[in-house]
Chains A and B, each alone.
Chain A
Amino acid sequence: MDALKKVQQPQVSTQKTMSGAQAVVQSLIKEGVDLIFGYPGGAIMPVYDALYDVEDELKHILVRHEQGATHAAQGYARASGKVGVCIATSGPGATNLITGIADAQIDSTPMVCITGQVASGLLGSDAFQETDVIGISMPVTKWNYQVTRAEEIPDALAKAFYIARSGKPGPVLVDITKDAQFGSLTFNYNPFKGMRSYVPRPRVDLSKVKAAAALINNAKRPLVLFGQGIILSEAESEFQTFIEKAELPSAWTIMGLSALDTDHYLNVGMLGMHGNYAPNKLTNECDVLIAIGMRFDDRITGDLSRYATQAKVIHLEIDPAEVDKNVKTDVAILGDAKESLLALTEWIKPNNHRVWLDEFRKLEFEEYEEVIKEELNPSVDELSMGEVIRSINDQTAGDAIIVTDVGQHQMVTCRYAQFKNSTKSMITSGGLGTMGFCLPAAIGAKIAKPQKQVIGIIGDGGFQMTLQELGTIFQTKTPVKIVVLNNEFLGMVRQWQELFFEKRYASTTMVNPDFQQIVSGYGIETRKVTERKDLNDAVSKMLVHDGAFFLEVRVAKENNVFPMVPTGASVSEIRLK
């Protein structure tokens, strides 16, 4: 009888009537989101009210400025590989997101931003806290959409997540009017399945794979350049198999750092303006250049007209618009890096390039003697940025997530930080160069990977751009480690003024407050190092401390980051001093 009853019962529907605001929250949960960053305000209040009911399932991290929410979401996304989510109100709340959105766009970080908007009837009327965030964010989002009716919410968010995380990831923004949040709908969530106007992963063309393999098999002096594409497609092991099979020297962009162990024998170092001597020099001597998941940024290429003109260029890339954009390719393999690498590895022959690799070693030695030795073990009293990174390397064994801000300390960190079996561990603002990125991004990274040591390395300038996020650390008790390398200068700009503007130090001197006192006010343990003898001990204290820790190191005021490819120069004109 009971069995019969069961059969006769109508199918239990998952459909449920709820408010638009509740639908926002339920959609996030359906997308597997368990944590968001944000800041409340008038036009987003209904969503905040709905969040109040689901605190256990969907945690909200209250930041101190909406820009902080975006960078925290970026740090979270970059460390976890998941979509970072942030939420803000209309008007100034929405405009404060723009820097982080632009950063996520240029660095291909999956992020969904939800903004409140004035009621649909007020749109276009210059209402209180109304801003055209759709118009403002259009140039810096992968996609954006304004919701004006509650019923649109589940589908709009499903599409938003699909677009943010698929293909070449990026930021999307969904703007939801207040009346849509208050309106009601029958909630029925269908994950987005794709659309004809958007092909996230081009199919790998085997004929291109064969053509590329033929070039690689005949190469005497091949050079691989790899970028974040390896990390985004989680192709680290496929990449390693590929380069090991044909013994291909491999250099990285700062976005690709940590995808390959820094001590791997085929890792020949960092590309670009402040990269290593060998890969920059030898870019102009290789016979086949194999670029994987990178986009030939001008900071990588220097003068394009004198960039690797002798080489056949192979480009493995997911985004057709990146092919031939800056550097003309001979063979382009469109597709996801993992798929392309698997196919290409099959077609390349085992090989060795010992003689060619030795050329890298020779130049490496030259750079070591000329630059690295002094940077890591200074002969002067003043501390260098490099020796701080060395101390961190020594004590973390390359198993920490390193987050940086922008400037000299960023270049030094990228140059010297070591990574071992630790992909997704270099989080830096690469394309946009956003000062203020580090502190909130480090918070996001630590929340994403609580079991990992997360160390944010910041200059004294960038630290003061988003310093208010110390409040977020205080409130959430996020045990992130912050290292401020204080040289009382906007160091990178000062370096340029020294080299190219006749030492006219216009507005680069920083008269700083007592950071120890400020940070202590947020209840964070602090330490200040001014002498070398205290450095290792302070780093060790920081690492073992159970909670957030702030370490300020007074470093040399007027050190320069070398090597350097001056603007307009060719990569092979890289200067050691």
Chain B
Amino acid sequence: MKKRYTISVFTEDMVGLLNRVTIVFTRRKINIESIAASDSEVQNIHRYTIVINETEDLVKKVTLQLDKQVEVIKAVYHLDEEIIYQEIALFKVPTNILMQGGEAEHIVRSHHARVLSVESEFTVIEKTGHKEETQHLFDELAPYGILEFVRSGRVAITKPMRTLTSIVNELENTYK
């Protein structure tokens, strides 16, 4: 059965490595739902957070093939319940729909969204949450006219207490 899996890939800092990572998905024609790249808590180790919707059997194979890449330090996969995750969405809406008072402003407040910037023509609203939540806000604001919308890739923190530092220490002792 297909489920949503979050794959975390910890890598050395190297030009082109992201390409090597995405090739593993492209080869099997797996659509990447979202991808985010950032630093990790360990200096010089980067992490990619990749979300796909596939069977566990396939996710496992893909994760091993990611792990196999020379400069990938570790690749792991988790179900939604095994991680704490978040996405951020930005909405650009006409300022006048908020100025008119009432409904639009109420929607923004009820979603606990934040106003980032108010210009005479447009206002930028930020909403942090799961995709369903940012999508819900999108759906409610849509009738008032959304000028621009963007949602980030998922970022996720894993619940298990095994640290990257301990994984790295273990690898430092075994590679030789």
Contacts and interface: CB of A to CB of B under 8 A. Distances in A.
Interface of A: 134-135, 138-139, 142-143, 146, 163, 193-200, 203, 319-321, 323-325
B61 A198 contact: no
B172 interface: yes
A197 B20 contact: no
B16 A138 contact: yes
Contact of A163 (B65, B70, B171): B70
Contacts of A319: 68
27 contacts: A139-B23, A143-B70, A146-B16, A194-B175, A194-B176, A195-B12, A195-B70, A196-B175, A197-B70, A197-B71, A197-B73, A198-B70, A198-B71, A198-B175, A199-B171, A199-B174, A200-B175, A203-B174, A320-B64, A320-B67, A320-B68, A321-B61, A321-B68, A323-B64, A324-B60, A325-B61, A325-B64
B45 to A, nearest CB: 9
Contacts of A200: 175
Contacts of B162: none
Interface in B145-159: none
Contacts, number: 56
Given A195-B175, A198-B175, A199-B174, A142 B70 contact: yes
A138 B71 contact: no
B170 to A, nearest CB: 9
A323 B68 CA distance: 12
Interface string B78-92: 000000000000000
Interface of B: 11-12, 15-16, 19-20, 23, 27, 60-61, 64-65, 67-68, 70-73, 168, 171-172, 174-176
A43 to B, nearest CB: 19
Contacts of A321: 61, 64-65, 67-68
A196 B171 contact: yes
A232 to B, nearest CB: 16
A197 B68 contact: no
Contact of B72 (A139, A142, A163, A197): A197
Q: Which of B20, B23, B72, B175 has the most CB of A within 10 A?
A: B175
B61 A196 contact: no
B76 to A, nearest CB: 13
Contacts of A138: 16, 19-20, 23
Contacts of B172: 196
B175 A199 contact: yes
Contacts of A139: 23, 27
Contact of A196 (B20, B60, B64, B168): B168
A196 B73 contact: yes
B72 to A, nearest CB: 6
Nearest to A144: B16
A128 to B, nearest CB: 23
Contacts of B20: 138
Contacts of A195: 12, 70-71, 175
Contacts of B70: 142-143, 163, 195, 197-198
